[in-house]
Amino acid sequence: MAERRFVILDRDGTLIVERNYLSAPDQVELLPGAARGLRELRALGLGLIVVTNQSGLGRGFFDRAALAAIHARLAELLAAAGVQLDGIFFCPHLPEAGCACRKPKPLLVEQAGRELGFAPRAAFVVGDKPCDVELGRAVGAVTLLVRTGYGAATEAALEPAARPDACVADLVEAAAVIRGLLAGSAPRPAPRAGDAGPPREALILCGGEGRRLRAAVADRPKPLATVAGRPFLDHLLEQCAAGGVTRVLLCSGYRSEQIEEFAQARDRAGGLRVEVSREPAPLGTGGALRLALARVGAGPFLVLNGDSFCAVACGALWAAHARSGALATVVAARIEPSAEVGSLELAADGRILAFREKDPARPSALANAGVYVLARAALERLAPDAPSALERDLLPALCREGAAWAFLTDEPFWDIGTPERLARAEAFFARRPPARLTEAPPDDRK
Ligand SMILES: [Mg+2]
Ligand SMILES: [Zn+2]
């Protein structure tokens, strides 16, 4: 059975009316809609806890007995409205004490997860301050900012890259958004400021060793294999530029210096910013993308495998991603049935139910084309600084939540994973129209 998921609620400004150093039970007042929102979250089968910073204790504004009385009053008000919390966790320390439990540090959430048996990464964190959003991001949870308390001011002040997954009016709307996320259907989070348009940044996975191709391309990373007279990556950059992408981050690892040299030359050529995010040690596709996240904006991002190509129409892809509200849109190419590729299992509406490994007994007519549109919130779920795989550690989880959608295409799909496939790609690109990217005139744009 799936682990029970929890909602981690801030107290002041989220659940109850914000009062500066609330210190007595009679000051506790539920915010409008708070009890209803919690009831609706409960009805979704979710656990509910409160995590709150109470530095008033450290300052001596009230003592632990008073705090206990305040929380007893909160429980009483909620019980009268037909809802119960699973626990309240608080940090009693002053901010300057540098304790390990004050939000946004994740200690209290981790402790609650152990005590109550839930995974913080699968939780929803709801609050009204930047520290609540940061807390949620620190544990890899879905983050929601309510506009009650300090929430409206927080929403206005947050940098694009620090935004929550959704901004909502109150706990009633938070419950509606969470219900939508769990069901994989509307209502979904309102688009974030940076999510409004099509992807302007692309991440290309160039870090793999490409062992199977070693026989054909011994001296360079696979994405730099020559295809139709140019490095294969040029074909991908051309696709990015044609789709309106203005900045590309090449996620490098194996023989990174060659990727870096290539990036510098293409960056100098103008038209497209081309930079490198180099992994210090092999991190896998997931880890490489998570690492690169520190260098990019609010998203969504076009993500490409560096050793495959699908001539998908980017405009239609962006539109589909925006329309579905997905956290991940995966391009699925229709192919001649083949047992050589993994397959996608789709629902009637296009949601991806599961990814299946390649199976000699079950040829597939759909291939994961290695082209994705991914929301920042999706990539943030990957563990930082640790190896992981997109296909194993992120996409299956998004499928289970109904947050991964397929974009079907009949456009040709090529990968250069083996010498035979490289030869086929060569024939395809040799027939393609002339390139849109041009070589740099020698250094005169510096
Ligand atoms: Mg608060
Ligand atoms: Zn503390």
| Tally of helices (H runs) and strands (E runs) in the chain | 14, 19
Q: How far apart are CA 265 and CA 295, in angstroms?
A: 20
Residue 94 alpha carbon to ligand 2 centre in Å: 7
Q: How far apart are CA 160 and CA 158, in angstroms?
A: 6
Pick the CATH number of 195-430 from 3.90.950.10, 3.90.550.10, 3.40.640.10, 3.40.50.360: 3.90.550.10
The confidence score (pLDDT) of residue 106 equals 94
Residue 130 alpha carbon to ligand 1 centre in Å: 9
CA of 91, nearest ligand number: 2
CA of 19, nearest ligand number: 1
The confidence score (pLDDT) of residue 210 equals 63
Write down the catalytic residue from 12, 128, 195, 393.
Answer: 12
Q: Are 406 and 344 in contact (CB under 8 A)?
A: yes
Residues in the chain, overall count? 446
Q: Is 27 a residue whose pLDDT tops 60? A: yes
Residue 100 alpha carbon to ligand 2 centre in Å: 6
Same fold, 6-189 and 195-430: no
Residues contacting 427, CB < 8 A, separation 6+: none
Q: What is the pLDDT of residues 256-304, one digit of tens each?
A: 999 999 999 999 988 889 999 999 999 999 999 999 999 988 889 999 9
Q: What is the pLDDT of residues 338-392, one digit of tens each?
A: 888 878 888 878 889 988 878 888 888 888 999 999 999 999 999 988 999 998 8
CATH code given to domain 6-189? 3.40.50.1000
| Neighbouring residues of the ion ligand 1, judged by CB less than 5 Å | 10, 12-13, 128
Residues contacting 1, CB < 8 A, separation 6+: none
Mean pLDDT highest for which of 156-165, 320-329, 371-380? 371-380
- Comparing C-alpha atoms, which of 299, 264, 298 is closest to residue 278? 264
Q: What is the mean pLDDT of residues 190-198?
A: 49
Residue 385 alpha carbon to ligand 1 centre in Å: 30
Residues contacting 404, CB < 8 A, separation 6+: 326, 327, 328, 329, 330, 351, 352, 395, 398
**Higher confidence at residue 113 or residue 419?**
113
β-strands 328-338, 364-374: how paired?
Answer: antiparallel
Q: How far apart are CA 394 and CA 327, in angstroms?
A: 11
- Please say if 307 is a catalytic residue: no
Cα dihedral 63/65/66/70 (nearest 10): 130
Q: How far apart are CA 197 and CA 192, in angstroms?
A: 10
Q: How far apart are CA 387 and CA 393, in angstroms?
A: 10
CA-based torsion, 20, 25, 31, 32: positive or negative? negative
Domain ranges of the chain: 6-189, 195-430
Residue 152 alpha carbon to ligand 2 centre in Å: 26
CA of 103, nearest ligand number: 2
- Please say if 10 is a catalytic residue: yes
